[in-house]
Structure 1
Amino acid sequence: MLRLEPKLFEMKKLVLLLITIQITNLSFGQSTESILALNSGLFSFHGVSAEKSSQINLASNGSTGYTNNPFGAKNGLSYGLSYQIQHVSRGNFMTGISVGYENLRSKTTIDRVNGYDNTGTFQDVASGQTYLSNKFINAFPFLGYRIKCNQFSIDLIGGLDIGYLLSSREKGEATGVNGKTYSTSLDRTGIKTDLRPRVQLAVVYGKIGAYAGYAYGLSNYRSRWVGGRNECNAELIRFGILYKMKG
């Protein structure tokens, strides 16, 4: 089992210090830019506890239940909105922070259903999927460098996502070979924060641009689970568009 809690605590203190320094730098900069960004992305879990397929375990009513392992290793489509403020120095070095909201969704395939009828337990071959929807408030303090190329600017930045988890909920549906539909809807909120080292590339022309980035989570989403090996970390590929409101 991953033991990241002490390291995460120390990293949180370091990040808070970094944010304070960056805000101070922003307040003294003349070349300050503010940006509104819309993003989508591909989110999934990795580690020995993440699975590409799982099964639904039914409750006594026979049609609803829970996903045996909702932490899907398949990509789910995600979305978000963020506001970014950054300072670009005369030497094209950058410092800034982005804050926003994201709904990060992973996916796992459902291939069977376990249940109980009047005669005993049964297994039903099924086809469907479960999505685990993780709603975050996210802060991203970063450092970077700008490359100017004719009328384009290319921003290379890196930093640390600080994701505060508002809620985590699984929602699944599968259809058995008998044509019966089974569903799940269950709260799965566990961890409170996830720290994700992040790199990002943005290309801007005038006030419009596009960006892509990658982040990998340090928090173990199954740290409170018992039995077996519980190692499950988040991975996110972001892509989106941005509009420069100032600068």
Structure 2
Amino acid sequence: MKKVYLLLLAFGCVSAAYAQKMEYSAQVNSGLSRFGGESSAGTTTMVINDTWGSPPRVTNPYGSRYSVAYGASLQAQFVSASGFLLGTQAGYEQLRTRAKIDKAFGYMSHSSSMTHPADGKAVIITDYINLQPYIGWRVKQNPIDLDLTLGSDIGFSQKIKERSEATLEDGTEFKIRKDRSESITDFRPRLGITGYHGHFGVSVSYAHGIKNYRANLDGANMKLYTRVLRVGLLYRL
């Protein structure tokens, strides 16, 4: 990863020396995010107990189902006379992931069974300060500028929250509202395409996380990575 950023810096020096112009823009985006890897879950279980006093919990809240993400960022980029791009984005975003809860496990005073059908979801919400250095190429110019870019998100987590809930067949509801103590710096190689017409633009990008969220667990070979698909609207100054 360090070699990648040294290469970007070298390109930056060349681009700065021969830059035709510099562009600035602001962007708002929405999209979809999820967890990937062996430790992510499409379906999970809530552990409950209505008599022992322990709070409910989800066995694996790190969902592999897409959920809505959104954010905003500022962008600056050099555009050389030949079309080479070097730029960066800086912004704030919230990523959400989801897993379906299809059953609950635990003792209920009115039932002899320990397993109960349930309907619910486990949601992890993470707020990031996000940087994205990138290189690219302007493949078409005037009247529509079309940019292809390759870079990497560097996401610094600010808050990680769990918001899970499940309803049993008899209508009993369980909710989890938990602020998690994890903190992570996430790396996500990112491929994007942006089209501008005058001051306005539309972008589409996909980021594929390579930072393992579960790497700090001893004695386990667990893998958990972020996946983010974004669509953005830009205003170019």
TM-based fold match above 0.5: yes
**Paired position in structure 2 for 1:169:** 161
Equivalent runs, 1:58-207 vs 2, <5 Å: 58=48, 60-61=52-53, 64-117=55-108, 122-148=114-140, 150-207=142-199
Which residue number corresponds to residue 37 of structure 1?
Answer: 27
The CA distance in 1 between the partners of 2:144 and 2:31, in whole Å, is 24
Letter in 1 for 2:102: D
Q: How does 1:9-20 map to 2 (within 5 A)?
A: 11-12=1-2, 15=5, 18=8
The 8 Å contact of residues 11 and 86 in structure 2, kept in 1 or not, is answered as no
* CA deviation after TM superposition for structure 1 residue 165, in Å: 1.1
Matched-pair identity in %: 32
1:22 pairs with 7, 12, 28, which one?
12
Q: Structure 2: how far apart are the matches of 1:194 and 1:12?
A: 14
Query: Does the 8 Å contact 1:190/1:224 carry over to 2?
Result: no
Please tell me the residue identity of whatever aligns with 1:127: D
SS of residue in 2 equivalent to 1:116 = coil
Q: Report the RMSD for the aligned CA atoms in angstroms.
A: 2.5
- Code of the residue aligned with 2:67 in structure 1: it is G
Unmatched runs of 5 consecutive residues or more in structure 2: none
**2:39 is matched with which residue?**
49
Mapped partners of 2:210, 2:83: distance in 1: 30
Question: Using the alignment, how far apart are the partners of 1:44 and 1:189 within structure 2?
Answer: 20
TM-score w.r.t. structure 1 length?
0.85
TM-score normalised by the chain length of structure 2: 0.89
